Structure 1
Amino acid sequence: MDKLPDTDILQGKIIICTYPKKDPDDFFEIISQLGAEVYYLPMIEVSPSLFQLQKEIGSYHWLVFTSKNGVSAFLQEQKPTNSNKMAALGEITAAELLKNGYVADFVGSGKSGADFAEELSGTIPPGNSVLLVLGNLAPDTLQRKLSANHPVDRVNVYQTIEPENIDENLLKQIEDDAYDLLIVSSPSAIKNLYATLKRNKTGLRLISIGKTTTTAMSELGLNPLVTAAESSYKALAEATISYFKKDLKNNTL
């Protein structure tokens, strides 16, 4: 069989993203160039929270960031010192640090919080103090794992909430099955979408950004068509393209 073309493999496909529109958006840039119609139905809103550290920032050996939102909210209020080392979960988080002038000393694989906890426990020397910079909905996976050998503090620097305004037309498209794929990049987004939909919940065609989001889907009785190889929007795009290539191949056999 001839190689399947990439240039128009997504032509006319309707893809709905459940995360807020970003600038830049690697997913949109890649997918729209291949002919897809990309729409945004944000199922979460993220806003900075007021926070206070339990001790001086310079007393922590490590600052641990798990998201881009955590980096931006934290740096609005605090300035790391030369005594702080920094760890980032995934390339997106590391890139946000770099954008603000900081280079991560360690970048985790980005596959899940549990994987990151394992990686950190083998990277941070025993006894080093750790500050976890998180959102209000982040589980205590990191804290439980690291607390065995490190003094650990946690600070919630942003909150993730359900959006006040939701595009009813796009919701109806999903309920009417008038779309090709839903792109989901967080557990909160799929939970909020599932709770908001009034019908046609079980047959959702989902692409997941990673294992943590896929787990949240499974808890709702949903299964993604594909889970991205790593937690990045570029990997989401690659997973989407891979799905349509496989679908096209199957339909032409």
Structure 2
Amino acid sequence: MKKEVDNMKPVVLMTDSRATISSEVEIVHLPLIGIRPLPVVRALAHHHYDWLLFTSKNAVELFFLHYPDVTFSNIASIGKKTSLALAVRNIKIDYEPPDYHQESFIECAADRFDRCTVLIPCSAKARPMLTDFLKRRAEVTRINLYEPVASVKNAKKMNELVVSGSIDVVVLMSPSAVNAYFTQYDVVHLPVLAVGPVTSQALSRFGQPHITANQSTKESILQKIIEMRDNHVI
């Protein structure tokens, strides 16, 4: 149902897998992507690596569930949710870039990975940029722990909410979420926010006008939405 009162909280559609709570906006949580775990690579049992590199919360959870015998000296992390998943396991992070994306990781890596063994447990759809960069200076093993699976049901529900005028802002949290929706439906004639530059690039490929958050965090996105509300953009 379309909102009837102009001064109500803006209704924000979040498309990632983790529910968000805010006192400033009303959030509709509709994940566009699930995951399908891939077979365990038994040959990795009892291996030791100088570095483990995680780029997603899902990778952290699946790795420590299925590869308890793999040992390591250092941990690198990209992304706030990734680092939080490690922190709740009391795992010390030895390196994380100042910004939450691969480009920042590469820019600030210096020589800390040179001539090291590096294991990258990740999504089968993870961008190859980081792996390619590290292979030029380290011995790298990449294992695909899972693959993203689009939710056709939730993409349809999102389209219904957009068409009905039930939401004010759409937030896309990953390139996979962008693909899950826009391979089926047309551009959205509402304010659309991207969590970071990679998601922004995916939206641009579909011709979707959008705004990119100042930082690749939900906090930054919500701050941007509140600014838009206060400036009567929404």
What is the TM-score with the length of structure 2 in the denominator?
Answer: 0.86
1:143 equivalent in alignment to 2:131: yes
**Letter matched to residue 226 of structure 2:** I
Match of 1:105 among 63, 75, 94: 94
Q: Tell me how far apart the structure 1 counterparts of residues 118 and 155 of structure 2 sit (CA, whole Å).
A: 41
**Displacement of 1:221:** 1.3
Report if aligned partners of 1:109, 1:230 keep a CA contact under 8 Å in 2: no
Q: Tell me which of 12, 22, 29 is aligned to 2:21.
A: 29
> Hey, what's the Cα distance between the residues in 2 that align with 1:107 and 1:40?
28
Which of 6, 12, 17 is equivalent to 1:15? Answer: 12
Q: Partner letter of residue 146 of structure 2?
A: Y
Whether 1:127 and 2:115 are equivalent positions in the alignment is yes
The TM-score with structure 1 as length reference comes to 0.80
Compute the displacement of 1:88 (Å): 0.4
Instruction: Give the conservation status (yes or no) of the 8 Å contact 1:94–1:103.
Output: no
What does residue 175 of structure 2 align with?
A: 187
1:60 alignment partner, SS class: strand
Equivalent position to 1:243, from 225, 228, 233: 228
Specify which structure has the higher proportion of strand. Answer: 2
Does 2:69 match 1:84?
Answer: no
How many Å apart are 1:172 and its aligned residue?
1.6
Post-superposition shift, 1:164?
Answer: 4.8
Cross-structure match for 1:203: 189
Cα contact 1:146–1:152 (8 A) shared by 2:
yes
Alpha-carbon spacing, 1:45–1:182, altered in 2? closer, same or farther (3 Å): same
1:223 counterpart (197, 203, 209):
209
Q: 1:103 offset after TM fit, Å? A: 1.3
Q: Report runs of 4+ in structure 1 exceeding 6 Å deviation.
A: none
Task: Figure out how many residues of one structure are paired with residues of the other and give that number.
Answer: 229
Aligned identity (percent) is 21
Cα displacement string for residues 12-43 of structure 1 (whole angstroms, at most 9, x for unaligned residues): 322111123x2xx4xx322xx12x33212221
Give the gaps of 5 or more residues in structure 1.
Answer: 1-8
Q: 1:83 to 1:187 in 2, by over 3 A?
A: closer
Three-state SS of the structure 2 residue aligned to 1:182 is strand
Once the two structures are TM-superposed, the CA of residue 59 in structure 1 deviates from its matched residue by 2.6
Hey, what does 2:198 align to over in structure 1?
212
CA contact (8 A) 1:202 1:221 kept: no
Q: CA RMSD in A?
A: 2.5
Q: Distance in 1 between matches of 2:111 and 2:103?
A: 14
Q: Deviations over 1:56-98 (max 9, x none)?
A: 5543110000011110111111237664210000232111011
Partner of 2:3: none
User: Following the alignment from structure 1 to structure 2, what is the Cα–Cα distance between the partners of residues 82 and 56?
Assistant: 9
Tell me, in whole angstroms, the C-alpha distance in 1 between the residues paired with 2:197 and 2:113: 27
Of the structure 1 ranges 85-94 and 176-185, higher mean CA displacement relative to structure 2 is found in 176-185
Unaligned runs of 5+ in 2: 1-5
Q: Is this contact kept in 2: 1:18–1:189, CA < 8 A?
A: yes
1:208 to 1:53, Cα distance in 2 relative to 1, 3 A: farther
Residues 98-134 of structure 1: per-residue CA shift (max 9 Å, x gap):
11221111122343222223333x1524100111111
The 1:167/1:130 distance shift into structure 2, 3 A limit, reads closer
The equivalent of 1:94 in structure 2 is 83
